[in-house]
Structure 1
Amino acid sequence: MPRYEPTEVTEGDGGHSPKRRKAVRYAVPVAVAGVAAATIGLVPAFAGGSPDLPKISAQDLIAKIAKSDVQQLSGTVRITTDLGLPALPGMAGGAGGFGGGQGGGEKKGDGASAAPESKLMELASGAHTLRVAADGPDKQRLSIVDKAAEYSLVHNGNDVWAYDSGSNTAVHSTAPDAGRHGKQRQAPKDLPKDLKNATPQDLAKQALEAAGDTTSVTVDGTAKVAGRDAYQLLIKPKQAASTVGSIRVAVDAANGVPLKFTLTPKSGGAAAIDVGYTDVDFAKPAASLFSFTPPKGAEVVNGDQERAKAEREHGKGAKDFGSRKGMKDVEKDLGGLNVIGKGWTSIATIKGAGPGLPSGKDQGAGGDVGKFLDSLGDKASGSFGTGRIFSTRLVNALITDNGTIYVGAVDKQALIDAANAAK
């Protein structure tokens, strides 16, 4: 078998029709990344050399990902996140991050230490080991493993359990889709009609065309990941202002499942996000993995009651948050959320109503307010006025003195230019 050579999506992809050449020269900056992250379910470096595999185009590899319908798997995932965020209490992977029993400060029995939203936030920083398992749409398990404790999410039919061994607290909730099990899964109602029954190849082609000319995508060789042969899909922004250097996705050559996802900033250094399997098995997992009974002495919290309480205290927005209606309410509360630009250099803007951040003239405790803000962000100015830019390795945010926010995975000058243009 001939050794695999990298192929690139370009207009000069000889041997194909003009229509196909036009379609395949595009890439998928967000769609591929989203599919990869979702399929992984939430890494070690590539190991074992580069296997010899048949050639495949980038478009066909993307279609292979879309076509993949793996319903059963189990394995271990290693996730490392280095966004350049400051260390925050509860964000570290230490024992304290696993509940009040380890000095986390949560009140035992209130469900805070076992709430999924707080636990999953820990993945935004540091290195973590996860164990995952799935057996169809109604059975999944995810465990975050720490030296001192373990946190688990278990979905089995109508039941969802979250358990934090550090505080010995369990939260039981009803699955969002309860009452609809057994029905054939359908495409989301919000999808355009021409997408509901599209083939994976059609979806890949439409995604490529929608991405425009903002991205370069190549099939950049092969690798061994978790002992399996994989193609490497390499995605790079063409827009100079993007802070993203590249995204590399290792795709299982046999079944199209993304095995490893690595996002590297343009500034270089270690990956900002590196997640993938260290071992994976596509056989049916043991049924016992999806069975959960709270340990003796555990505090059990009714998650449905807690959710209803939050809705009463914070309004229907708590229930609708994340939905289209909920996001519109959030946008309204934020004073008007708008997105300008396209592709990798899109910038979200939130119109401010003032007064914005305190200036350096604000004395506070002997000028400490201004000094503190100066230590966090860089001063910025332009025809828009003045403000401060706060930075991570990927995302920059400009907050003007009148409270308007510009944020995106773009360099600082792009934010200033956007603020000047909106003046």
Structure 2
Amino acid sequence: MAPYASDDRTTAEPAGDPGRGRRRAARYVVPVTVMGVAAATIGLVPAIASSGDPDLPDITAAQLIEKIAKSDVEQLSGTVKVTTDLGLPDLGGLESSLTSGALGQGGDGSSADPSAKLTELASGTHTLRVAADGPERQKLSLLDGSEEYSLIHNGKNVWGYDSKSNEVFHGTVDEPAGERGEHQPPATPKDFAEEALKSVDDTTSVTVDGTAQVAGRDAYKLVVEPRQSGSTVGAISIAVDHETGMPLKFTLTPASGGAAVVDVGFTKVSFARPAASTFDFTPPKGAKVTEEGALEEAERHAGKDSGRPGKAPESEEDLGEGLDSMKVLGEGWNSVATFDTGGPGLPAGGTGSDLDGFLGSLGDRVKGDFGTGTVFSTRLVNALITEDGTVYVGAVTKDHLVKTADGAK
């Protein structure tokens, strides 16, 4: 059995305090939380690398996974292209309105807050500039023409800077971002690959499928495919640097075919130590600086005064309690996570608030032994919210999800 073997079914949950830290961490990794479900548990089938261009020594899948595990790259800089196509519906500006609203631009929050800015990675194609110098210093910049958003971790300080609005977010961390703290979003092929290789069992085929060149470097191609039917995942391809063992490109294609759901790869990369000045940051003159504590206070006031149903802190507490009781049904790629939201689900007849009706129109009404509910679908993840507020979610087909929910009752 290769490294990363694990029987822990909770590895997809953020580490740390199960209260505030976990909930804020979840907000920062929204663009890639699907991998916590899609990765499930992976089996290993040894295979010899086929000949290809470049011509590299033969290697088995077991040896290649071990090579990834032993990779000790801590210094790097480069450019990463991220393309995400989950097949999310066009919300006609609703998403940006909800993000900015009380907590974003024009409200008491900050456009530089990572929890809002990094959700942009959930769809479309983006270019990132990344740099790292050990667990204490990392920098990620999201480029958009002449505009740039940067997230910088240097020691205990975390800075977010939005050049478009000239706003700054400042927070602190007590532990290195290498421990997957709340301000470090997965953004490189290595982050995705580690999620996909955390566990191994006989539910998956893992093979080496030749070689490739990525960002000018020679690499092996590791291919991960489910053996089980019912999964929405078709295959995961990981290009592994021949010299360092570091993943250079990660591609997840759906079982339904078509374009990749997630495609993350270096277009340029260097393993030299970045200049120390790369991680220095001083708020520009005239910039609006928002401290993390002040932002949380604004969130609490927004929840109380915005006129929205319920209050933000209470809703977060309810959700936190629901996640604490989360269970995993099934195994391998057909794993389905389930938890109670602590509140009612969507009305079966769509007769609730305007928001309930709108959300209901985006999903499919279903019935079963579990009662009545609504299934929301993307090209990778399906989620069922029942009328009583129970959630079932997984990288499985709609039919498999409903069947799992029926079996849970």
TM-score, length basis structure 1:
0.70
Please report the RMSD computed on the Cα atoms of aligned residues, expressed in angstroms: 4.2
Give the match for residue 274 of structure 1.
263
Give the match for residue 150 of structure 2.
152
Q: CA deviation at 1:135?
A: 1.4
Closer, same or farther: CA 355–374 of 1 in aligned 2, 3 Å: closer
Residue 200 of structure 2 corresponds to residue 211 of structure 1: yes
Give the match for residue 399 of structure 1.
385
Give the match for residue 50 of structure 1.
53
Q: CA deviation at 1:330?
A: 4.4
Closer, same or farther: CA 28–78 of 1 in aligned 2, 3 Å: farther
Q: Secondary structure of the residue that 1:112 maps to in structure 2?
A: coil
Give the match for residue 8 of structure 1.
none
Q: CA deviation at 1:369?
A: 6.8
Please say if residues 225 and 278 of structure 1, whose CA atoms lie closer than 8 Å, have aligned partners that are also in contact: yes
What amino acid is aligned across from residue 406 of structure 1 in structure 2?
A: Y
Please say if residues 243 and 395 of structure 1, whose CA atoms lie closer than 8 Å, have aligned partners that are also in contact: yes
Residue 375 of structure 2 corresponds to residue 377 of structure 1: no
Q: CA deviation at 1:186?
A: 9.8
Give the match for residue 139 of structure 1.
137
Structure 2 regions of 5+ residues with no counterpart? 13-28, 34-51, 182-193, 304-311
Moved more, 53-62 or 294-303: 294-303
Please say if residues 203 and 227 of structure 2, whose CA atoms lie closer than 8 Å, have aligned partners that are also in contact: yes
Please say if residues 338 and 350 of structure 1, whose CA atoms lie closer than 8 Å, have aligned partners that are also in contact: yes
Q: CA deviation at 1:422?
A: 2.1
Give the match for residue 420 of structure 1.
406
Match of 2:222 among 214, 225, 233: 233
Q: How many aligned residue pairs are there? A: 346
Q: Secondary structure of the residue that 1:114 maps to in structure 2?
A: coil
Please say if residues 330 and 336 of structure 2, whose CA atoms lie closer than 8 Å, have aligned partners that are also in contact: yes
Distance 1:149 1:90 in 2: 23
Give the match for residue 128 of structure 2.
130
What amino acid is aligned across from residue 291 of structure 1 in structure 2?
A: D
What amino acid is aligned across from residue 366 of structure 2 in structure 1?
A: A
Q: CA deviation at 1:253?
A: 0.3
Distance 2:110 2:206 in 1: 42
Please say if residues 78 and 275 of structure 1, whose CA atoms lie closer than 8 Å, have aligned partners that are also in contact: yes
Q: CA deviation at 1:159?
A: 2.3
Q: CA deviation at 1:114?
A: 0.3
**Cα deviation digits, residues 352-410 of structure 1 (max 9, x gap):** 77753223373978xx976x566422222233333222110011122233332221111
TM-score, length basis structure 2:
0.72
Moved more, 281-290 or 74-83: 281-290
Give the match for residue 327 of structure 2.
338
Give the match for residue 197 of structure 1.
none
**Cα deviation digits, residues 44-80 of structure 1 (max 9, x gap):** xxxxx82000011111111111111111111000000
Q: Secondary structure of the residue that 1:123 maps to in structure 2?
A: helix
Q: CA deviation at 1:91?
A: 6.3
What amino acid is aligned across from residue 224 of structure 1 in structure 2?
A: Q
Please say if residues 109 and 298 of structure 2, whose CA atoms lie closer than 8 Å, have aligned partners that are also in contact: no
Please say if residues 322 and 340 of structure 2, whose CA atoms lie closer than 8 Å, have aligned partners that are also in contact: no
**Cα deviation digits, residues 183-230 of structure 1 (max 9, x gap):** xx9999xxxxxxxxxxxxxxx9xx78x522110000111000000000
Distance 1:187 1:79 in 2: 20
Q: CA deviation at 1:266?
A: 0.4
Give the match for residue 162 of structure 1.
160
Give the match for residue 295 of structure 1.
284
Residue 115 of structure 2 corresponds to residue 117 of structure 1: yes
Structure 1 regions of 5+ residues with no counterpart? 1-22, 43-48, 189-203, 320-325
Moved more, 275-284 or 153-162: 153-162
Residue 362 of structure 2 corresponds to residue 359 of structure 1: no
Please say if residues 105 and 111 of structure 2, whose CA atoms lie closer than 8 Å, have aligned partners that are also in contact: yes
What amino acid is aligned across from residue 59 of structure 2 in structure 1?
A: I
Distance 1:30 1:250 in 2: 26
Distance 1:332 1:405 in 2: 13
Distance 2:216 2:144 in 1: 24
Q: Secondary structure of the residue that 1:211 maps to in structure 2?
A: coil
Please say if residues 350 and 360 of structure 2, whose CA atoms lie closer than 8 Å, have aligned partners that are also in contact: no
Closer, same or farther: CA 30–274 of 1 in aligned 2, 3 Å: farther
Q: CA deviation at 1:274?
A: 0.3
Distance 2:143 2:134 in 1: 23
Distance 1:354 1:105 in 2: 26
Give the match for residue 106 of structure 1.
105
- The within-5 A match list for 1:51-90 is 51-88=54-91, 89=93
Q: Secondary structure of the residue that 2:351 maps to in structure 1?
A: coil
Q: Secondary structure of the residue that 1:60 maps to in structure 2?
A: helix
Distance 2:124 2:89 in 1: 11
Closer, same or farther: CA 401–281 of 1 in aligned 2, 3 Å: same
Please say if residues 91 and 124 of structure 1, whose CA atoms lie closer than 8 Å, have aligned partners that are also in contact: no
Closer, same or farther: CA 355–137 of 1 in aligned 2, 3 Å: closer
Distance 1:282 1:297 in 2: 36
Distance 1:272 1:287 in 2: 35
What amino acid is aligned across from residue 62 of structure 2 in structure 1?
A: Q
Give the match for residue 252 of structure 1.
241
- The within-5 A match list for 1:30-49 is none
Q: Secondary structure of the residue that 2:402 maps to in structure 1?
A: helix
Distance 1:407 1:66 in 2: 29
Give the match for residue 43 of structure 2.
none
Q: Secondary structure of the residue that 1:271 maps to in structure 2?
A: coil
